Amino acid sequence: MSNDIRQDLGLRQVINVSGTMTALGASIVVPQAIDAMTRGLSQFFEMTALHKQASKVISDLTGAEAGFVTASCASGITLAVAGAMTGSDLLAIERLPDTGTLKNEVVIPSGHMISFGAPIEQMIRLSGAKVVPVGQATASSAYQLATSINENTAAAVFVISHHVVDYAQIPIATFIQVCHEKGIPVIVDAASEYDLTTVLALGADIVIWSGHKFLGGPTSGIVSGSKDLVRATYLQNRGIGRGMKVGKESIIGVMAAMIAWKTRDHEGIRARERSALNVWSEALANRPGVTATVVPDPTKNPLDRMKVSIDPQAAHISAWDLAMRLAAGDSPIIVRDHEIEHGHFFLDPCNLHPGQEFIVAERLSEELGKAALANDVTETPIEDIWLDREAKILQWPD
Ligand SMILES: *Cc1c(COP(=O)(O)O)cnc(C)c1O
């Protein structure tokens, strides 16, 4: 037995410079949450009472009237939409996803119809609701939102994320204003946002976060908002929410993570992240074809990343080939590669264990050094890489 459980399981020892990625196990769970879960696992709980206590912790942190813990932000979206349709009608809850005579349309800006690993519109449809896209991917306006709302509209969904089209979208304040003028509740997906209060203060009826992203809790979703809507969301555990429920350990763990958030040393964390960025700046300086710049988070989370842009002719390797080489071997380094076809990737320092920044710097130096000495330019056609990745999806479990 080693200290690193990944070795025992025959798994590679991944270093995560990609961010809070669910595909890599989300985030480093904070010690307070680990301790609370360990203490709770062997006990019994009156789950309704435990959920009430969690509601208080969520209220305290977010300023919402009430809160509810479910399996994930994705489940939170499904259940909040369900709650907006059924209210506290227990029979309607049991009948979902058949919506019968309930209002069942949900409006969402077209530019917000993202995939976070699964399509958000599917999370809405899972409840039985019908998705009504507003405007076009690259243009949505208040008048389009207003005219998309009718007597069948149950709710409106708004997404805050780097995945969302980042121009010509309805601002959140306008979105809430238009919806409220029509009496429609606003459900906000803020899965990956640090800010736990502003959107509720703006008047959003429900805001949902992932417990396992910046908060450093176990896999979970945190639903906050008005008491009536949160209650209606919670009651879905008697229906479609059953398969999305969390166990005691996740509720206890995410409560501890939320309490710890209040006293987290945010400044100290920023300082550690800055020092990792400095280490990488140095490793990448004066390398032909490599431009490293520190860039802020696109949705204004207090987190800077290093953008590494590669000119393949000068560096002798493309950004994606470099990313793939870093991801090979026993200690793979997984970079943030969602814009890789533009010839850049990002290094995200928010999920590093102490000292890993140096391993990342060494591996970058090693691979860039090797490429610089090579006679040829390595630049695999990106379309081949994407088709290859698609083919690999279907090979699991082989
Ligand atoms: C991560 C993410 C989700 C999914 O969160 P889970 O808690 O893993 O279900 C949904 N929306 C956005 C914008 C995300 O970033």
| Domain final position from 243, 261, 279 | 261
Whose CA is closest to atom 5 on ligand 1?
73
Q: Are 220 and 293 in a shared domain?
A: no
Range of the domain at 70: 31-261
More confident position, 3 or 224: 224
Q: Are 213 and 272 in a shared domain?
A: no
Q: Are 90 and 228 in a shared domain?
A: yes
Taking only the tens place, the pLDDT of each residue in 323-335 is 999 999 888 999 9
- Which of 22, 214, 299 is the best mutation target for the ligand 1 pocket, counting ligand atoms within 8 Å of the beta carbon and taking the most? 22
Q: Are 71 and 183 in a shared domain?
A: yes
Q: Are 320 and 246 in a shared domain?
A: no
| Domain final position from 242, 261, 280 | 261
The atom of ligand 1 lying closest to the CA of 190 is 13
Average pLDDT of every residue of the chain = 97
Q: Are 236 and 308 in a shared domain?
A: no
pLDDT at 331: 86
pLDDT at 2: 66
pLDDT above 70 as % of the chain: 99
pLDDT at 170: 97
Q: Which residues pair with 17 in a beta bridge?
A: 335
| Domain final position from 218, 237, 261 | 261
Residue 398 counted as domain residue: no
What is the tally of structural domains in the chain?
Answer: 2
Q: Are 344 and 381 in a shared domain?
A: yes
Q: Are 65 and 10 in a shared domain?
A: no
Ligand 1 centre distance from Cα of residue 7 (Å): 28
Ligand 1 centre distance from Cα of residue 133 (Å): 19
Q: Are 236 and 269 in a shared domain?
A: no
